[in-house]
Amino acid sequence: MYCFNNDYSEGAHPKILEAIQNASLDQHAGYSMDRHTEHAKELIKKAICREDVDIHMLIGGTQTNMTVISAALRPHQAVISAETGHINVHETGAVESTGHKVLTQYAADGKLTPSLIQKTLDGHTDEHMVQPKMVYISDTTEIGTQYTLSELEALSRFCRQNGLYLFLDGARLGAALTSSVNDLTLADIARLADVFYIGGTKNGALFGEALVIVHPDLKADLRFLIKQKGAMLAKGFLLGIQFEELFQDGLFFMLASHANAMASILKNAFTDCGFPFFSDSATNQQFPILPNDLIARLRESYQFQDQQAVDEDHTAVRFVTSWATSKEAVQQFAEDLKRLAHQ
Amino acid sequence: MYCFNNDYSEGAHPKILEAIQNASLDQHAGYSMDRHTEHAKELIKKAICREDVDIHMLIGGTQTNMTVISAALRPHQAVISAETGHINVHETGAVESTGHKVLTQYAADGKLTPSLIQKTLDGHTDEHMVQPKMVYISDTTEIGTQYTLSELEALSRFCRQNGLYLFLDGARLGAALTSSVNDLTLADIARLADVFYIGGTKNGALFGEALVIVHPDLKADLRFLIKQKGAMLAKGFLLGIQFEELFQDGLFFMLASHANAMASILKNAFTDCGFPFFSDSATNQQFPILPNDLIARLRESYQFQDQQAVDEDHTAVRFVTSWATSKEAVQQFAEDLKRLAHQ
Amino acid sequence: MYCFNNDYSEGAHPKILEAIQNASLDQHAGYSMDRHTEHAKELIKKAICREDVDIHMLIGGTQTNMTVISAALRPHQAVISAETGHINVHETGAVESTGHKVLTQYAADGKLTPSLIQKTLDGHTDEHMVQPKMVYISDTTEIGTQYTLSELEALSRFCRQNGLYLFLDGARLGAALTSSVNDLTLADIARLADVFYIGGTKNGALFGEALVIVHPDLKADLRFLIKQKGAMLAKGFLLGIQFEELFQDGLFFMLASHANAMASILKNAFTDCGFPFFSDSATNQQFPILPNDLIARLRESYQFQDQQAVDEDHTAVRFVTSWATSKEAVQQFAEDLKRLAHQ
Amino acid sequence: MYCFNNDYSEGAHPKILEAIQNASLDQHAGYSMDRHTEHAKELIKKAICREDVDIHMLIGGTQTNMTVISAALRPHQAVISAETGHINVHETGAVESTGHKVLTQYAADGKLTPSLIQKTLDGHTDEHMVQPKMVYISDTTEIGTQYTLSELEALSRFCRQNGLYLFLDGARLGAALTSSVNDLTLADIARLADVFYIGGTKNGALFGEALVIVHPDLKADLRFLIKQKGAMLAKGFLLGIQFEELFQDGLFFMLASHANAMASILKNAFTDCGFPFFSDSATNQQFPILPNDLIARLRESYQFQDQQAVDEDHTAVRFVTSWATSKEAVQQFAEDLKRLAHQ
């Protein structure tokens, strides 16, 4: 039974495990004050072409989102998200648990635009309503789509004109930056977003998200907030070691690139069989719309998740590849699909 | 420069790293729904001699404390802690950030007693004050002391008579259970506490705390709370694998025992030199009271933390050993101490 | 300039002011432990035909909503509301500030139905999402509509089958119960809702909402919660005195009835002029859709609020009458409207 | 049975009730946007000799404290209070419910000093602990004592040097400013505190606290916070009318002065009988230490509260007078006391 459920089914790339093993018996400063973390931060600064940022390494996405948002907002302020945004749906109300409303707009492709945000601003005009202050986007989005440079520039300009912080959740940023349709760089993101993170968990690390704070107003006292939210790892050097490996020789991009390549084999297989897609993704998540009886047959050999019922007989499903997905597995799947689809 | 700052300076015991490596390329179910975690839970149930408990594995202590306390209390309820309690001092207000007051009592040895708790109850009598509902203790305490069986029985009885949940923070439970003066077992704790955890971070794991929920009222929906607090690890199988190793062949006890043994060499050295102690610890944290000029000379070769100034010329300091502390290191320290103390 | 902005422009009915004055120099127990409050509770229990409820008197709607919802829910639980619900739009995120998500469904008439609630339940299936636990409705709704007996019975049945608390915000309950199309009684509401309140602020009192808790699970420790949320009035006897007056000789119903009668004069005037309505209201809020140029002319003599732009030339506006609105004022308005509409 | 339990047993001064009655049938703008409130703010600005402040009127003390503190602090920041501080003891954890820790120091006379605050600062040095950012004092204190000009100047200077906001809870500020030992003015307070409030509830109003924000950093968006905390009164003009009356012709000071005068009659009676006091109060709260059997006999005719047991046979009790306490009542009490004390 092969599993396409997600990109965090496997442990970590061998280089990362080896680095952890090599450093395991050394004595390290606690709570991310160690030299590996320091070095990893230098590598990331180089990769994003900026020195004037603060970098912190947290364990997972939900805690990073909740920490950043609650650190940035005053109690009456809210964050704007696409309806499908991870913070709105899949974090068990973590943002609200810190006291803040998530204001949403429906976006068919999972991407916010200036005009969608403007609609929210238009509806929030006085002190009887929350005050929108931050925009949350993810790249890639929860449905595998991604922002273009011009889209991100437009968002960034709009946010700056309207006094909104722009926060980019990059849990799957590797997949976005290495996709065939990408025209963004890490440096662009560091220039256009006020705060963002680079995901390790879904790209070959055991865990870890590297948070980059660009806007000076968002930097103060962040270590207090990280500690309070339970997000400060005692053995923080484990995060440093992992990001050192990821950003030392381009491993971060190689792993994401591999996941995308594996997904494109799946995508081609679905396309060849004539199946439409729920979203237009060039990244490691694919959302084909399949007949329910085919889904049932595929599930005899493969695990994958339902996204959403489309009609009585068809469902959009989600296939996710990872840094560890083998070419054999996706080729086998492609063959099985073709065979089963034509029965 | 050898570091006695804490028990989380090193990575993890080689067996644990090896187990992670061996399982790294397997596909695992996400979010602690995997088979390693299932197996680790079975091993822990055996070790605590109870089947009727819920077990969850979280990453660190602060997030475990905050999750348990906020899950157990209604908004107007409070938790009682010793003044020195970790939740009161060293978690940057994590408990308060979830809306709950920490009520404190001073205890010279860091341990709560029924009479101290009664003082808090006496002062909280109506709806203009918070309602005490949970008692938080740690074993070992923040100053290395530990509860005896009869002390824990008395606390447990008192809590049950007064409708208070008893929560035991076991971040250093290994050290307590393997100390020379211990008369408690894991089974005692599971019988006497309503909820407790078994610390991995400070006892040879990369990270991880195994939370055991005994009281039926505290079990409901805990996975929702864990997720909301950002404490649900995507690759939860990493926690399962580590606790499998710790509880497979007694590794958990062996590692703690080693740390205690190394600390007792330090303790003997301080005693031999005639130095008194800030607290009476038989565990891996030692708090000698040293002359400030000796402290300065020791710091040329060793790292350790200040606990508290005692008078103008003396300071209580903290030495911590770990599963990885070598006999050579502590023996060398003992020699250096004797030499410097007699200069 | 006559003001139709809302139903809280004026002070209180003379009988209420007189009662406050008469009792002003007496000494009363503080914090709603006084005899007037006790008596008012008895009167309300008679009016709702139930003895087995807890009644508390709070100052305003937002604080009542926030207190009830945060008292009822555990941290991971959410409340379901219509998109237009007061808690979702006009309370500056008060519910979220206590940690809870408001889940919404669009309802053209502002009323929730079992099938709308089912849609929310269908989308919240595991611990990665919040857990819906309470349904919030208001009667009348924010757009002047109201629930029928059969609608409320259906909602109540559905909530009980699905383990959801049903909470009815009755800030304008007087208007609902005295409208020409009403078939509900206070006793019905006490039978069908788990918790509700009877609004005084918008029906002739200086301030005050009488909260009725029916479901036993929602009763515990509510005074702690009221105090914590800053909602416990030191001179709570002022609330008791006001509700005594409102429920002594049917004043509550007379005042609401008057407001509705005044609104129906406005409604007829709009209808006579051929203007459509944004919502079908038989209560003291009317939402005619008027041409923008007529709105501008009306605003030379009257105050009223915009509800929502309908097209480039038309806007739905809101007219609200109160217990204090005079027949002369609405008749004058009717004449002015007819004159201006035909220019 | 005469009641000395507190200073909020009676309604409001007749002038205030009359003013409410006179304005009751007028139409007022909602939510404190009315002209009475505007005028009251002007009167208060004159009384404090400053124009550059923001003034808001809230209903009660707990909600004012919670609103100010949660508006001023970031999530990891804490407020420092005397152990006896109202926010620490008698608000059911309202401050903690907004996420903030209250850090306390013991002060025998209920007053904070620079050296007590310094002790708290010394213990909070890094991101593992909360960050002290605000100092909360009350004048008069909960035990009837009051700050002198030089004490307040010292506190103010210390707070400014250490980047701490100074917040003065003036629920009983009238009593402080009119006591026989007072050397402070409203203008001093507005110069020395960053934010403070002038209590109406305990000084002749039905309810109401006038919040004065001096420090520019604390002004932004306060109406959002007030609304979110349920502290924005729909009929806010009731607050404006009351403070108009209080500050029109010195009524505020006359009422407080009367309460103090009545208390001094009680104080003299206790002193004449040779009873010591728990605290040195020249204001409307007196805390004599009485024999328990005398207390029992007094309670046959008078209500008053226990403060704290002093030894087995003596208890400190609290007598409170108000703007409405009659000379006859206190003289009768003085006679009764003398008679009973000498039996």
Q: How far apart are CA D194 and CA D57, in angstroms?
A: 17
Preceding omega of B140 cis (within 30 degrees of 0): yes
Chain B hits for D130, CB-CB cut-off 8 Å, are 92-93, 96
Token pair for A338: 């073709």
- Asked if D96 is an interface residue toward chain B (Cβ–Cβ < 8 A), one would say yes
Eight-state DSSP code of residue C93:
T
pLDDT surpasses 90 at D343: no
Helix, strand, or coil (residue B186): helix
The answer to whether A76 contacts D221, with C-beta atoms less than 8 Å apart, is yes
pLDDT in tens, B10-24: 999 999 999 999 999
Nearest CA of chain D to the CA of B206: how many Å? 20
Give the model confidence (pLDDT) of D57-67 as tens digits: 999 999 999 99
- The distance of D117 to chain C (nearest Cα, Å) reads 26
Q: Is C223 in contact with B75 (Cβ distance < 8 A)?
A: no
The residue-averaged pLDDT of C206-210 equals 98
List chains touching D (3+ CB pairs under 8 A): A, B, C
> What is the reported pLDDT for A343?
76
Chain B hits for C223, Cβ within 8 Å? 127
- All residues of chain A having their beta carbon less than 8 Å from the beta carbon of residue D221 are 74, 76, 127, 131
Quote the tokens at residue C66.
């926030």
Residues of C in contact with B72 (CB under 8 A): none
Q: Which residues of C touch A97 (CB under 8 A)?
A: 75, 99
SS (HEC) of chain A = CEECCCCCCCCCCHHHHHHHHHHCCCCCCCCCCCHHHHHHHHHHHHHHCCCCCEEEEECCHHHHHHHHHHHHCCCCEEEEEECCCHHHHCCCCHHHHCCCCEEEECCCCCCCCHHHHHHHHHCCCCCCCCEEEEEEEECCCCCCCCCCHHHHHHHHHHHHHCCCEEEEECCCHHHHHCCCCCCCCHHHHHHHCCEEEEECCCCCCCCCEEEEECCHHHCCCHHHHHHHCCCCCCCCHHHHHHHHHHHHCCHHHHHHHHHHHHHHHHHHHHHHCCCCECCCCCCCEECEEEEHHHHHHHCCCEECEEEEECCCCEEEEEEECCCCCCHHHHHHHHHHHHHHHCC
| Interface ipTM above 0.95 | yes
> How far is CA D162 from its chain centroid?
25
Residue C313 burial (CB < 10 Å; 0-12/13-18/19+)? exposed
Q: What is the CA radius of gyration of chain C?
A: 20
Best of B69, B88, B101, B308 to mutate (most D CBs within 10 Å, chain D): B101
Q: Is B30 on the interface with A (CB under 8 A)?
A: yes
Query: How many C-beta atoms lie closer than 10 Å to residue D18's C-beta?
Result: 14
CB contact under 8 A, A227 and D128: yes
The token pair that represents D341 in the structure block: 């004390």
Total CB pairs under 8 A between chain A and B: 153
Q: Which residues are CB-contacts of B254 (< 8 A; sequence separation ≥ 6)?
A: none
- A118-174 per-position pLDDT tens digit: 999 999 999 999 999 999 999 999 999 999 999 999 999 999 999 999 999 999 999
Q: pTM score, two decimals?
A: 0.97
Pairwise CB contact (< 8 Å): B20 & A11: yes
Give me the tens of pLDDT residue by residue for chain A, a chain 343 residues long. Answer: 999 999 999 999 999 999 999 999 999 999 999 999 999 999 999 999 999 999 999 999 999 999 999 999 999 999 999 999 999 999 999 999 999 999 999 999 999 999 999 999 999 999 999 999 999 999 999 999 999 999 999 999 999 999 999 999 999 999 999 999 999 999 999 999 999 999 999 999 999 999 999 999 999 999 999 999 999 999 999 999 999 999 999 999 999 999 999 999 999 999 999 999 999 999 999 999 999 999 999 999 999 999 999 999 999 999 999 999 999 999 999 999 999 998 7
- By C-alpha distance, the chain B residue nearest D98 is B99
**Distance in Å, alpha carbon of C250 to nearest chain D alpha carbon:** 21
CA distances from C231 to A178, C274, D92 (A): 55, 45, 12
Contacts of B96 in chain D (CB under 8 A): 96, 99-101, 130
Residues of B in contact with D92 (CB under 8 A): 76, 127-130
- Give the model confidence (pLDDT) of C287-303 as tens digits: 999 999 999 999 999 99
Q: Which of C4, C7, C9 to mutate to probe the D interface, most D CBs <10 Å?
A: C9
Kindly list the distances between the CA atom of residue D104 and the CA atoms of B92, B99, B103, C236, in Å, as whole numbers in the listed order. Answer: 15, 18, 11, 30
In this complex, the residue of C9, C91, C231 whose CB is nearest that of residue D28 is: C9
Closest CA to C108 of C96, C100, C116: C116
- Put simply, whether A76 touches D (Cβ < 8 Å) is yes
Chain C nearest-CA residue for B232: C128
Please report the pLDDT score of residue D162 as a whole number: 98
| pLDDT at residue A257, as a whole number | 98
Q: What type of residue is C151?
A: E
For residue A22, which of D112, B12, C68, B32 has the smallest C-alpha distance?
A: B12
Q: Is D14 at the interface with chain C, CB within 8 A?
A: yes
Q: Is B8 on the interface with A (CB under 8 A)?
A: yes
Q: Give the pLDDT mean for B99-113.
A: 97
| Mean pLDDT value of segment D317-331 | 98
User: In sequence order, which residues have a C-beta less than 8 Å from that of residue D199 and are 6 or more positions away?
Assistant: D61, D170, D171, D172, D173, D174, D209
Mean pLDDT value of segment C185-192: 98
Residues B54 and B219: beta-carbon distance below 8 Å: yes
Q: What is the per-residue pLDDT for B342?
A: 84
Residue of B59, A190, A155, B129 lying closest to D102 (CA atoms): B129
Residue B93 has its nearest CB partner, among D90, D91, D101, at D101
pLDDT of B343 higher than 90: no
- Partner B, chain A 176-235, Cβ-Cβ below 8 Å: 201-202, 206-207, 224, 227-235
Closest residue of B to C72, CA-based? B74
Q: Scan for tokens 């507190």, then name that residue.
A: D6
Distance CA A166, CA A155 (A): 8
Per-residue pLDDT reduced to its tens digit, C150-170: 999 999 999 999 999 999 999
Using a CB-CB cut-off of 8 Å, the residues of chain A touching C130 are 92-93, 96
Give C343's pLDDT tier (boundaries 50, 70, 90). confident
Give the count of alpha carbons within 13 A of A150, CB side only. 0
Nearest residue of D to residue A232, measured between CA atoms: D128
Taking only the tens place, the pLDDT of each residue in B306-340 is 999 999 999 999 999 999 999 999 999 999 999 99
Distance in angstroms (rounded) separating the CA atoms of residues B20 and B36: 11
Q: How confident is the model at residue D116 (pLDDT cuts 50, 70, 90)?
A: very high
- What does the pLDDT look like over C224-253, one tens digit per residue? 999 999 999 999 999 999 999 999 999 999
Would the CB atoms of C101 and A102 count as touching at under 8 Å?
yes
Q: How far is C16 from chain D (nearest CA, A)?
A: 10
Give the whole-number percent of chain D exceeding pLDDT 90. 99
